[in-house]
Amino acid sequence: MNDAFIHPRALCESVTVGAGTRVWAFAHVLPGARIGRECNICDGVFVENDVVLGDRITVKCGVQLWDGITIEDDVFIGPNATFTNDRFPRSKVYPDSFDRTVVRAGASIGANSTILPGVEIGTGAMVGAGAVVTRSVPPNAIVVGNPARITGYVADREDPGVPLLRANGAGSPGRVALGVGSASLHELRVAKDLRGELSVGEFERELPFTPARYFLVFNVPSREVRGEHAHKRCEQFLVCVHGSCGILLDDGRNRREITLDRPSRGVYMPAMLWGTQYRYSPDAVLLVFASHHYDPDDYIRSYDDFQKIVSSAPVPA
């Protein structure tokens, strides 16, 4: 702790405080707490014993971190954010153990938000000011409100909503790379006459594989999120044949969000891409073609595991 700065009016009882960390006035850190390097513990912060803080964490004024809380690297915690660790608190009644709350690396917790015990705030997620988080937040999700609901995702780029350029005139197919792995956005051919409209795509011509199966997703409550996994081998092609939904694509290095809102627009999602679907309209029907039969072993359901796999792979040229 020799390289840490402890304000003369702070009470830091822990000897496990990393180099470059600053503990400011009226903060109180109990003996069992562990604080990493280059953290900023602001005025009036309380840190209990069974608390683990990683490196480069900012904890703004008025925050209390109770037993059972783990904060990973590069997390921002806004002023007066409240963490809880007992779902059924009674005076002088103590549980055998406290629910573990984990805030993953790079997440941000807004001012005056409340985090219920036992939840996980995913990597890179953002909790809005004043939100009440009652269940775990997916990686990179933006949540607001009481109870907190997903309103968006932190994406490098969002779909601008501009139609794709047509290669051969009106009604012909178009394709554009999305800059996320080899994912691509497709405009499918549309034929119109007095009898109505028809949209068509031919696999292995306009579309990149021959499907082994399909599935339909519908009647999804608008606040719910689907997907949140990657596939090791399976490729997918998604078309919202009715209504609309948001598609978030993540290759571990880049993210992009696309809105599917017409049956002539589709997204090709190759293997080893983290996919999330959310913001379903009440009438949304999402059609998904898959290159492989269902295999539970083909799924990667942990975003941390996904990131470890892609970070060990060579960067595409």
Q: How far apart are CA 240 and CA 247, in angstroms?
A: 10
Torsion sign, CA atoms 94, 100, 101, 106: positive
261, HSE (Cβ side, Cα atoms, 13 Å): 11
3-state SS class at 296: helix
List Cα–Cα distances, 144 to 83, 132, 205, in angstroms.
16, 8, 43
Residue 313's CB is within 10 A of a number of other CB atoms, namely 10
Which tokens sit at 33? 């707490």
Torsion sign, CA atoms 220, 191, 188, 159: negative
Residue 311 parent element (H or E): helix 303-312
Whether 229 is catalytic: yes
Q: What Rg value do the Cα atoms of the chain yield, rounded?
A: 24
Catalytic residue among 28, 229, 242, 292: 229
3-state SS class at 76: strand
The catalytic residue positions are 229
